[in-house]
Amino acid sequence: MALRIGSKSAREWWREYRGTTFFLFGMLMFRSAWADWVTVPTGSMNPTIIEGDRVLVDKHVYGLRLPWTLVRLTDGRDPQRGEIVVFDSPVDGISLVKRVIGVPGDTIALDEAGLVINGAHARYEGGDVALLNGLLAQTQARQPMVFREEGVVPAHDILRMPFGSPHELMRPIVVPEGMYFMLGDNRDNSADSRYIGFVPRRNIVGRASRVAMSFDPEHYYEPRGRRFFEPLDR
């Protein structure tokens, strides 16, 4: 007896839909191995990435991977200090978006003056306060401050809260071989390497390059047209 799907036999169904099936399978492989986008639900990367952003991830930059696995088919290049990356948390496997602060061999610390890499302090100045207007109302209510961080990393904006965080200070630590140290741009509200530890190279999925789309969760997910295709390195 021929297997039937609804009123069609399996063979008839395959003849009719095999093109669509191959297309969908190929698209899933492309998104798994080459490029994809992720939805950012938290404010850990404010003010660079805000809640509701769909961030484009270039997965091939750090080497092609066998689809749906951590097995790399090509080496690619290593992540660079200052790049924003997507990685699988070494604690629970959840996908996270953070900034690379320490590469293998770096000595990282946080003191009263801020970030320290290999004995050199980052420089700080007032950031673009206009970025505060794009944050969620509940974040703005906490009276955050924007600073421009540069010197030991490529220049970028970070967010600080008046009350600080329990991990505001950190003694010097050395990043082991094959590992990376990640920080969120929202320094006082980010579950990053201060909490989850170093991130193995193999867990890094790809580089976050730009905002593909953005939808405002505070206004019924209304599109934020001004953020569409906005680059993250600015």
Q: What is the DSSP letter of 60?
A: G
Give strand pairing partners of 213.
54
Element (H, E) at 20: helix 10-33
- Phi (first) and psi of residue 164, to 5 degrees: 70, -160
So which residues are the catalytic ones? 44, 98
- Phi (first) and psi of residue 167, to 5 degrees: -110, 30
* Residue 50 to residues 67, 107, 217, Cα–Cα distance (Å): 28, 29, 10
Beta carbons of 89 and 196 less than 8 angstroms apart: yes
- Phi (first) and psi of residue 12, to 5 degrees: -65, -40
Question: Could you tell me where the beta strands, DSSP code E, fall in 46-192?
Answer: 53-58, 84-88, 95-102, 107-111, 114-117, 120-121, 123-126, 145-150, 156-160, 170-174, 179-183
**Neighbour tally for 26: CB within 10 Å:** 10
Beta carbons of 105 and 174 less than 8 angstroms apart: yes
Element (H, E) at 231: strand 230-231
